[in-house]
Chain A
């Protein structure tokens, strides 16, 4: 894991540089602005890897590439199909895993050769029952109590998706600037600490109080992310290691605070804070029967903001330029150091928004599980969303649905929640390796690529070792 993200073409040794010297220099990479370039990079990301984060995870829009692609076009490019196939493949594998551990399947496997149909039926029903329960728990429950009850799962999905979306945006934004922000977890925690303290320790009028909670949380996350940016920019400390360490530091700091009089609820022995003031929590969106709160609207607003920031603002352009090629960005007069610090600060602030959603929206108290695993899920959300703002939004909704549905699935069919982790990680793995997905589904990538990729075709297929 090195700063040294310089692509090393086999030919063309650089006379300017001694091979042993460690530099962060990156070769200027000519950016082509036709759409094919994107697909080529996707399959041969290593050959052209211009930044710590391969362009394949940075969504289709490179600086210089057409910014506004129509939805249809996105679907019909290779990436769209691969995304769908990857999700499908992950669901199939997850289904097989469910079936493998199912009791009925085990029994029928005992007389597999006598009556194979029993076995296949059992496999099918084990997998589909779980997924149907998942769907009913995530989107629409036909057995619900009236229309309100039937749509309750959807509301729960949106509630859970809220922190996933905002934290995912934080991770995605950093990805676009070529930074791996593994630290959303810690940023959520720091935001939760500050927001909850303002929420329960101060007693302010309606409106102002919530505003202060929000600001405190965002600042908490932004500072925690910003420190990483400063360390990266000033000392070159790799952000992956620093953010991982910061996650733990934040967690232990939270546990310490929950042990002190300042944060522990009076009369409690368990590590839990007082409940936030009624003035300090997000109003509910659709009445008290759902948990969905205003935080979801803020998540939508944040998505608009990030979309604007990346695609319409000078700062966002700088971020993307730094992400695509730091050296070129430097040559173009962009202050890479400033961009690194700023992008981590904003990313932290976005993750902080997720922390606020947790303490001021969903939980209304601070516990040491305030961040649950949202910070880590945010990474997969950003990867699935290919680091584009609306892609991350959609991925957040999908994973929110998985999370919400999994609870119902466990209750109804006994399938453990952990299956969601398996499916999520498989989706991201498959999406990251389009050639694998194409190979599994028998789509021949070589012919397609030969037309557009030219030389890189060879590169993509000779990388294997085993």
Chain B
């Protein structure tokens, strides 16, 4: 998934340059500024010039909040024009930087561009709807909820790939976690035990990946793909034979309670997101922060990243490369397993076949879009959760945009990202390459 490919795929045999510093090996390309300009132009035409004439209404407060904010009324046409002009200015700035100074746009620019684009898009969608009014608080809260398993999955990916093992099996880990959570919680009548069991199940799936990838040096992508099929088959089989035989006994896990922190949860918009979650939801925030700190601020994290970037050097310094990889992959599986429990313990209180529905692959995409960084992955996952949620809302309020295109959006964005058209994401250098001590 490297976007940094240079010589051979370019097809032009170039003489090897020996003393090229690593930075200049990546010339500043026109790709990003041009892509931004194209997007800004599209925004100007569709959101601006062809924008709806109505007023988009965004509700902010929900009933239980301790102070009520009035709904925001936005004239769709005017704001479309203004926002798309901002986009044009941003893209123009990137173009000027490239043309004048041959510099890459500052890091905040793509982020700001994305936010403005999403807002303009939202106003355009809502303004053109049959009922041009949605609850912003509900939209955001729903996005976070839908993003929970994606966040956990992408954290699993980050943990594995930072140590140099490609994890395509996120889908299997989520599914395994979801199934085990449902089964154990049903049998023990304790959803918290289900949560623990989900982590164990995810770790077990991951251990198979680690075993085959590290001990038997089987190609990691193959193992990942096959593991997804294996877990899908196993859970499907056991669902049909065990769970279906007595759903009361084996497939009624009960729900993890929503823990409502008094006062704080009544803050408009952010209250429900941060302070009105299930245990899994709170764990998500904890996991993002802990994993970020652990990876980037501790000795352990430095070692893990060393193993993922340059295993030989790490080995020379006495770090056990393959042991590090094994335990990191296992830990990643446990994290994804917890994410899987969200499906059966929070979202729906029973297991069905393929309940993870491809979210493992979206998590993979979120990880790439988040540039192998826990916090980046978190926000990318939120974006995907947002697209997912918007898709269902759009169907309800009835807009001209087909909901299927909304569902397609995360995947399109990811393709753009890996193709290097939107920012650039570089995987850890030794990602996917087995390490064999010589």
Contact = CB atoms under 8 A, between A and B. Distances in A.
Interface string B73-95: 00000000000000000000000
Interface string B349-370: 0000100001001001100100
Listed residue (A16, A235, A240, A256) with the most chain B CB atoms within 10 angstroms of its CB: A235
A25 B14 CA distance: 12
B433 A418 contact: no
A22 B4 contact: yes
Interface in B300-327: 309-313, 315, 320, 322-323, 325-326
Contacts of A10: 312, 315, 436-438
Interface in B417-436: 418-421, 426-436
A101 B241 contact: yes
Nearest to B211: A466
A237 B1 contact: yes
B33 to A, nearest CB: 16
A20 interface: yes
Contacts of A241: 1, 364-365, 368, 414-415, 418
Contacts of A330: 7-8, 13
A223 to B, nearest CB: 15
B242 interface: yes
A415 B240 CA distance: 9
B296 interface: no
B43 interface: no
Contacts of A327: 8
A319 to B, nearest CB: 15
Interface in B221-240: 221-223, 225-227, 229-230, 232-234, 236-240
Nearest to A230: B419
B22 A20 contact: yes
A249 B434 contact: no
Contacts of A215: none
Which of A1, A3, A255, A466 gathers most chain B CB within 10 Å? A1
Interface in A66-99: 97
Interface in B374-426: 402, 404-405, 407-408, 411-412, 414-415, 418-421, 426
Contacts of B222: 57, 383, 428, 432
B218 A238 contact: no
B216 A436 contact: yes
A383 B368 CA distance: 26
Interface string B196-226: 0000000000010011101111111111011
A205 interface: no
A2 B432 contact: yes
B102 to A, nearest CB: 20
B433 A4 contact: yes
A463 B216 CA distance: 7
Interface string A237-263: 110111011101100110110010000
A121 B365 CA distance: 49
A238 B415 CA distance: 10
A249 B414 CA distance: 11
B9 A236 contact: yes
A300 interface: no
B18 A236 contact: no
Q: Which of A11, A19, A422 has the most chain B CB atoms inside 10 A of its CB? A: A422
Contact of A21 (B22, B234, B402): B22
A421 B218 contact: no
A422 B233 contact: yes
B430 A8 contact: yes
Contacts of B168: 1, 240
B223 A465 contact: no
Interface residues of A, number: 94
A259 B402 contact: yes
B1 A465 contact: no
Contacts of B415: 231, 237, 241-242, 245-246, 249
B5 interface: yes
Given A57-B219, A237-B3, A237-B415, A19 B230 contact: no
B298 interface: no
**Which of B11, B313, B320, B430 has the largest count of A CB atoms less than 10 A from its CB?**
B11
Contacts of B358: 248
Contacts of B16: 16
B253 to A, nearest CB: 20
A207 interface: no
Contact of A101 (B212, B229, B238, B325): B238
Nearest to A180: B221
A465 B216 contact: no
Nearest to B404: A256
Nearest to A244: B361
B434 A465 contact: no
A232 interface: yes
A466 B404 contact: no
Majority SS at the chain B contact face? helix
Contact of B2 (A4, A337, A426): A4
A433 interface: yes
Contact of A465 (B210, B230, B408, B420): B210
Interface in A387-433: 415-426, 428-429, 432-433
Nearest to A436: B216
A4 to B, nearest CB: 6
Contacts of B218: 45, 54, 429, 432-433
Contacts of B7: 23-25, 330
A1 B1 contact: yes
Nearest to A18: B22
A456 B403 CA distance: 54
A115 interface: no
Interface string B54-85: 00000000000000000000000000000000
Given A245-B415, A422-B234, A463 B11 contact: no
B2 A238 contact: yes
A421 B405 CA distance: 31
B322 A418 contact: no
Contacts of B429: 2, 4, 19-20, 22
A462 B322 CA distance: 10
Contacts of A418: 232-234, 236-237, 239-240, 353
Contacts of B8: 24-26, 326-327, 330, 336
Contacts of B229: 376, 380, 421, 424-425
B408 A252 contact: yes
A255 B395 CA distance: 14
A426 B233 CA distance: 10
A337 B225 CA distance: 26
Contacts of B309: 20
A181 to B, nearest CB: 11
B219 A465 contact: no
18 contacts: A1-B1, A1-B168, A3-B9, A4-B2, A24-B5, A24-B6, A24-B8, A54-B218, A180-B221, A234-B9, A235-B419, A237-B420, A327-B8, A330-B7, A340-B9, A429-B212, A432-B219, A433-B212
Interface of B: 1-11, 13, 16, 18, 20-22, 25, 161, 166, 168, 207, 210-212, 214-223, 225-227, 229-230, 232-234, 236-242, 309-313, 315, 320, 322-323, 325-326, 353, 358, 361, 364-365, 368, 402, 404-405, 407-408, 411-412, 414-415, 418-421, 426-438
- Pairs of residues from A and B, 4 with the lowest C-beta to C-beta distance, nearest first: A10-B438, A236-B5, A421-B233, A337-B11
Given A231-B415, A465-B214, 11 more contacts: A1-B221, A10-B438, A18-B22, A49-B217, A53-B219, A236-B5, A245-B414, A376-B229, A428-B222, A433-B212, A433-B218
Interface of A: 1-11, 16, 18-26, 44-47, 49, 52-54, 57, 97, 101, 180, 182, 231-238, 240-242, 244-246, 248-249, 252-253, 255-256, 259, 326-327, 330-331, 333, 335-338, 340, 376, 379-380, 383, 415-426, 428-429, 432-433, 435-436, 459-460, 462-466
